[in-house]
Amino acid sequence: MNAGAYGREMKDIVVYTRYMEHDGKIKKINLSEHKFSYRNSIFSEKNDVIILETVIEAKYGNKEEIKSKMEEYMKSRIEKQPLDLPNAGSTFKRAGEFITAKLIDECSLKGYRIGDAAVSEKHAGFVVNLGNATAKDVLELTNYIKQKIKEEKNIDIELEVLKIGEGM
């Protein structure tokens, strides 16, 4: 899906991917064939394939500088994200001129919950599991958030996480 953080994305490091199609055929695609865009790739539409291997190319650099940058990023994540609770990462995509987490916060949805699925008190862009959240709880909550943002801000927001499986 072209995950990213801190100004970098998978598209910056992928060399190629091998995957198996529904009929068992193995295919290999290069970087350009991934059709990467913001939180999107060819695999966003090809949801009936199994990714077998993705080769990435990391850049060489100064070990101490890299370690320092990794520590800085981790500190930032700990301060800003609900790493203490189970979650699937950033729940909604950013879009255009607005930050979705800010819209959710402006609609007073921090802490809003359905069952044990809740909008994180720490970062409104995350849906967290407070203990025994079900997939149904999470889906109902994300649908409610989308509906509330549409009603109050007249903006359609999109999930960043992908729904797979029966009834999704």
Active site residues: 39, 90, 160
Instruction: Judge contact between 115 and 144, C-beta under 8 A.
Output: no
Residue type (1 letter), 124: A
Closest CA to 14 of 43, 50, 46: 43
Phi then psi dihedrals of residue 152, to 5 deg: -85, -30
Residue type (1 letter), 133: A
Q: Which residues pair with 37 in a beta bridge?
A: 40
How far apart, in whole angstroms, are the C-alpha atoms of residue 7 and residue 120? 23
C-alpha 88: how far from chain center: 7
How far apart, in whole angstroms, are the C-alpha atoms of residue 38 and residue 77? 21
Phi then psi dihedrals of residue 76, to 5 deg: -60, -45
